[in-house]
């Protein structure tokens, strides 16, 4: 399973066209349905994305032709399954700019961040052998995150600090949802051992300046963990070029099934880290007293892995690569701007994050004055529009914004400008429906 080379048209166009998006939509069976008597408008890809036929078929084909446990057994199917599994790793590693042995399969980004936090935790207790000591944390050490983190890139570090006695600090945001870099420069010091931040915010749509933050971490000698959950699916990227030490992402946000994701780590780091989950398939020699571990990635892949999901994730990476990530990002950037501009023009709507004209992902979270996000979402669902409502697993961020919940519309390569316009028209009807139009910013 190898990457298909980028076509000539992909190289010459910076964004998908309306016609191409309509063709792309035909690849996604789930989009072709009615909800509450209207064509489904799926604007919740930030939560989970839909699967093209090629991904569904790759998973089914694996089960129909190749299903077996991998890395054990010498029979025909076991060899076929192992090849498919490792080919998938090579494909996905290539997609994110990692070497094959630098990509560890996990269930999703949350599992990936916990793998890192627990490995560092294991390096901090008991008798730590060899290179693992470099990951040990204790009182006086600091972990720095940001105020815009998803709970998945916050709570594992809170817990790591609680277990080790290290201190957690955070880089605040400004009112436009950008990180305050002057604060980052002050907070990241020689005490900082880990800097963990999101590449792109799932609420604000802000794309963070990775190079500046990596430079601060490098100067302080801290390890960099990048939450790439919202960037791998939507932006062209290369972890090596970004020069981060670790990165995590989820398959289900990039056209693949649930239950598969990845941790990227620099080879020498992964091989020096203590394991997190232990058991079968990750060892070399085991006695009744102790065990020796395989190098990465197997070191972190105890137990039977999500094999068909990995195969399907590779098919998703191929689909995105063939479409062209530059063009996907270009298209979504235009949808994001259409959302911000359109929503901001509606009376009583406050969009959080970067203002119109400023770079953002193809998503927008907003507050509707006088109407709770749950009611907004219910109204939109009644006209077939699927959005996410709530705190989007970012309570501290919402508290900073002075809100408890927002409504979020998030696009992907299969969304059309017409769908964004349908959302805008429906949102404009929300306050009149709930009888709060004209009451200004009352809440």
Residues near another protein (CB under 8 A) are 371-375, 378-379, 382, 389-391, 395, 398, 404-405, 433-436
Compute CA distances 24 → 27, 52, 53, 332, whole Å: 5, 9, 11, 14
Is residue 229 a contact partner of residue 253, using CB atoms and an 8 Å limit? yes
Compute CA distances 19 → 24, 169, 271, whole Å: 9, 47, 47
Q: How far is the CB of 12 from another protein (least distance, A)?
A: 46
> Is 393 a catalytic site residue?
yes
d(CA 335, CA 328): 11
Catalytically annotated residue among 92, 214, 393, 405:
393
Q: How far is the CB of 330 from another protein (least distance, A)?
A: 34
Q: How far is the CB of 375 from another protein (least distance, A)?
A: 5
Q: How far is the CB of 443 from another protein (least distance, A)?
A: 9
Q: Which is nearer to another protein, 220 or 409 (CB)?
A: 409
Residue closest to 384 by CA, chosen among 48, 36, 43? 36
Q: How far is the CB of 396 from another protein (least distance, A)?
A: 13
Is residue 168 a contact partner of residue 125, using CB atoms and an 8 Å limit? no
Residue closest to 227 by CA, chosen among 114, 88, 93, 94? 114
Handedness of CA 317, 319, 321, 327 (dihedral sign): negative
Q: Which is nearer to another protein, 304 or 404 (CB)?
A: 404
How many alpha carbons fall within 13 Å on the CB side of residue 440? 1
Enter the DSSP assignment of 47: T
Q: Edge-to-edge strand order for the sheet containing 192-198? A: 103-106, 261-265, 246-250, 223-227, 192-198, 142-146, 167-171
Q: Which is nearer to another protein, 173 or 389 (CB)?
A: 389
Is residue 10 a contact partner of residue 326, using CB atoms and an 8 Å limit? yes
- In DSSP notation, 417-441 reads HHHHHHHHHHHHHHHHHTT-TTSTT
User: Cα 380 from chain centroid?
Assistant: 25
Residues in a beta bridge with 42: 386
Q: Which is nearer to another protein, 327 or 392 (CB)?
A: 392
Q: Which is nearer to another protein, 221 or 438 (CB)?
A: 438
d(CA 92, CA 255): 13
Q: Which is nearer to another protein, 204 or 220 (CB)?
A: 204
Q: Which is nearer to another protein, 33 or 439 (CB)?
A: 439
> Which residue has 């235009």 as its token pair?
334
Under DSSP, is residue 152 helix (H, G, I), strand (E, B) or coil? Answer: helix
List the catalytic residues: 393
């Amino acid at each position: 399973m190898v990457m298909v080379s980028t076509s000539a048209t992909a190289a010459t166009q910076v964004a998908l066209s309306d016609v191409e998006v309509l063709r792309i939509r035909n690849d996604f069976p789930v989009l072709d349905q009615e909800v509450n008597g209207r064509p489904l408008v799926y604007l919740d890809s930030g939560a989970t994305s839909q699967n093209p036929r090629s991904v569904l078929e790759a998973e089914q084909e694996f089960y129909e032709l190749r299903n077996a446990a991998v890395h054990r057994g010498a029979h025909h199917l076991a060899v076929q399954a192992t090849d498919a599994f490792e080919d998938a790793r090579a494909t996905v590693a290539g997609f994110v700019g990692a070497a094959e042995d630098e990509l560890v399969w996990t269930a999703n980004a949350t599992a990936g961040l916990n793998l890192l936090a627990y490995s560092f935790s294991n390096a901090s207790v008991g008798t730590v052998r060899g290179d693992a000591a470099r990951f040990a944390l204790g009182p006086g050490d600091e972990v720095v995150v940001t105020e815009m983190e998803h709970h998945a890139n916050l709570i594992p570090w809170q817990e790591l600090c609680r277990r080790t006695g290290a201190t957690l600090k955070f880089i605040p945001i400004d009112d436009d949802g950008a990180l305050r870099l002057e604060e980052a420069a002050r907070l990241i010091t020689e005490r900082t051992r880990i800097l963990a931040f999101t590449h792109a915010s799932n609420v604000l749509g802000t794309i963070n300046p990775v190079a500046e933050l990596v430079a601060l971490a490098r100067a302080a000698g801290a390890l960099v963990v990048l939450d790439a959950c919202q960037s791998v699916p939507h932006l062209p990227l290369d972890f090596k070029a970004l020069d981060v030490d670790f990165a995590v992402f989820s398959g289900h946000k990039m056209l693949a099934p649930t239950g598969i994701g990845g941790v990227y780590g620099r080879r020498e780091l992964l091989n020096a880290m203590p394991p997190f989950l232990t058991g079968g398939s990750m060892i070399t020699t085991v006695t009744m007293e102790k065990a020796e571990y395989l190098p990465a990635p197997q070191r972190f892949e105890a137990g039977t892995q999500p094999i068909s999901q990995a195969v399907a994730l590779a098919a998703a990476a191929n689909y995105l690569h063939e479409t062209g990530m530059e063009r996907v990002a270009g298209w979504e950037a235009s949808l994001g701007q259409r959302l911000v501009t359109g929503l901001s023009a509606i009376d009583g709507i406050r969009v959080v994050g970067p203002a119109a004209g400023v770079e953002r992902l193809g998503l927008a979270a907003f507050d509707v004055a006088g109407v709770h996000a749950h009611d907004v979402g219910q109204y939109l669902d009644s006209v077939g529009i699927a959005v996410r409502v709530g705190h989007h697993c970012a309570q501290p961020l919402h508290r900073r914004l002075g809100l408890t919940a927002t409504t979020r519309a998030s696009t992907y390569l299969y969304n059309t400008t017409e769908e964004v316009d349908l959302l805008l028209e429906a949102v404009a009807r929300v306050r009149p429906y709930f009888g709060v139009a004209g009451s200004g910013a009352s809440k």
